[in-house]
Amino acid sequence: MGKVARALRIGREAARMGAAMAVERWETGHVFNPLFHPLVRSVREWPYPLYGRLREYDPIHRSRAIRGWFLFRHADCLAVLRDQRFSADDRNYVGYARQRAWEIADGLADPTLPDEPPMLRRDPPDHTRMRRLVSKAFTPRAIERLRARIEVLTDELLCGLARRGTFDVIRDFAVPLPVTVIAEMLGIPAADFAMFKRWSDHLVGFLDPLASPGPEALRATVAEFDAYMARLADQRRREPADDLLSALVQAEEQGDRLSSQELQGTIALLLAAGNETTTNLIGNGVLALLRHPEQLARLHAEPEIVEPAVEELLRWDSPVQLTMRIPTEPIELGGVRFEPHEAVVVVLGAANHDPAAFARPEVLDVAREPTEHAAFGYGIHFCLGAQLARLEGQVALREITRRFPGMRLAGDAPRWRRLTFLRGVEALPVRV
């Protein structure tokens, strides 16, 4: 039962981080600043002005709450992400023993088995080996072959929604599109898509603790998912098909293969991370366009600019706001010394609004020249599924703006989900 739990663990220390951050304050000159706290309504709705204050007055902030640091400048964030002395493996974190104990107490980890994180949280050489094996299914050519199918799925969804007049962009479009794409890529039978989506919703709790449905629901999901994928993987070993699961089962490079645990962890990661981030890319992107009708009108009139438009929307309101690294040796950056085993939280959302890296970052410009945003991370852990997310975002946003140029919000202002690392709205009702 513990395979997925061990594979997707991102650090239960983060679950306790929010409460501590709520009371952490500091003085910088004559400015009194609250530390970013994801549960404060104003921060959840639009955190970027606060990021700007932090970036200006305390860009490398010492945090007692996480026993480490928060970084808010673009240059600092990218410097950490490209420097392999900063580990992605949270087993190196000073709070690892405590968070491991929480997982065992919650029944989400087996103390008799080694704790092996997924590719997302591995360092070389394991990360290099696993990424090389998995990346064969995510080459530019392989992703481009999916374009026609993504366009068909988008057309089917939007045709049905057009007849309704009012719909929820999240529930009716931004959720089913990426779930269907990844399920079909893996070779999941269509009859199991609803079950697959439920697992995806629960497994996101391993990526963002505030999204967790709770230990009991997670234990049930892990058990169901492990059993289901083990059966399907065994079937693909006996009878390979033209799908991603077969490719992963058979992946081999210089005599190396994905172990059973690594295989299931990789599939779970693709399911949880791929669906959640692409759903939020589409949802956050549509909301940004609705709040900037002149930009929606421009994308409608010039659909050929959809590629830079998606990059700008990723920069403007990143689906992933934070990621963490751990120094493996003393490291100096920006006049600050990081000690081994401390947490260094890279605030990607703040980096993407840094005026030192982007001209007029507070302005949404769907035709902005290509920029080095950090929405997909940076360095060796740059998001493996970035090209797939981009393709889905491009097709989805091009088609929804082409069909519904008069689209407008319906009902109350959208509510943002209670999340720490991720960012997205619960629902986005529109009238077309």
Contacts of 266 (CB under 8 A, 6+ apart): 7, 118, 119, 130, 134, 248, 258
Per-residue pLDDT at 16:
45
| Pair of tokens at residue 274 | 């791929």
Considering only residues 79 and 103, tell me which one the structure prediction assigns the higher pLDDT. Answer: 79
- What DSSP character marks residue 139? -
User: What's the rounded mean pLDDT across residues 176-182?
Assistant: 92
Dig out the tokens for 364 from the structure: 């949404």
pLDDT at position 20 over 70:
no
Domain locations in the chain?
2-112+119-431
User: Above 70 in pLDDT, residue 21?
Assistant: no
- More reliable by pLDDT, 246 or 208: 246
pLDDT at residue 110, as a whole number: 75
Q: Which CATH architecture has domain 2-112+119-431?
A: Orthogonal Bundle (1.10)
Q: Which two tokens stand for residue 238?
A: 């006996």
Query: Which residues, in sequence order, are CB contacts of 15 under 8 Å at separation 6+?
Result: 209, 210, 212
**Which amino acid, residue 201?**
D
Quick: pLDDT tens for 284-332. Answer: 999 999 999 999 999 999 999 999 999 999 999 999 999 999 999 999 9
Range in 148-157, 205-214, 366-375 with the lowest mean pLDDT: 205-214
Question: pTM above 0.85?
Answer: yes
Residue among 390, 350, 394 nearest 53 (CA): 350
> What is the model's pLDDT at position 84?
95
Contact 257, 266 (CB under 8 A): no
pLDDT digits (tens, 9 = 90+) for 137-175: 788 888 999 999 999 999 999 999 998 989 999 999 999
- Sheet containing strand 166-168, strands side by side: 166-168, 429-431, 408-409
In single-letter form, the type of residue at position 398 comes to R
> Of 50-64, 109-123, 302-316, 408-422, where does the model show the most confidence?
302-316
Say which DSSP state 317 is in. S
- Provide the 8-state DSSP code for 360: S
pLDDT of 38 reads 57
Please report, to the nearest 10 degrees, the dihedral formed by the alpha carbons of residues 8, 231, 215, 15 taken in order: 10
319: left (phi > 0), else alpha (psi -120 to 50), else beta?
A: alpha
Report pLDDT digits (tens) over 251-280.
766 567 777 778 888 888 888 777 889 999
The pLDDT value recorded for residue 339 is: 96
Confidence grade of residue 133 (pLDDT, cut at 50, 70, 90): confident
pLDDT confidence of residue 252: 62
- Residue 212 pLDDT grade (very low, low, confident, very high; cuts 50, 70, 90): low
7 pLDDT more than 70: no
* 9 pLDDT higher than 70: no
Q: What is the mean pLDDT of residues 126-147?
A: 88
What local confidence, expressed as pLDDT, does residue 223 receive? 85
pLDDT of 381: 94
pLDDT of residue 264: 81
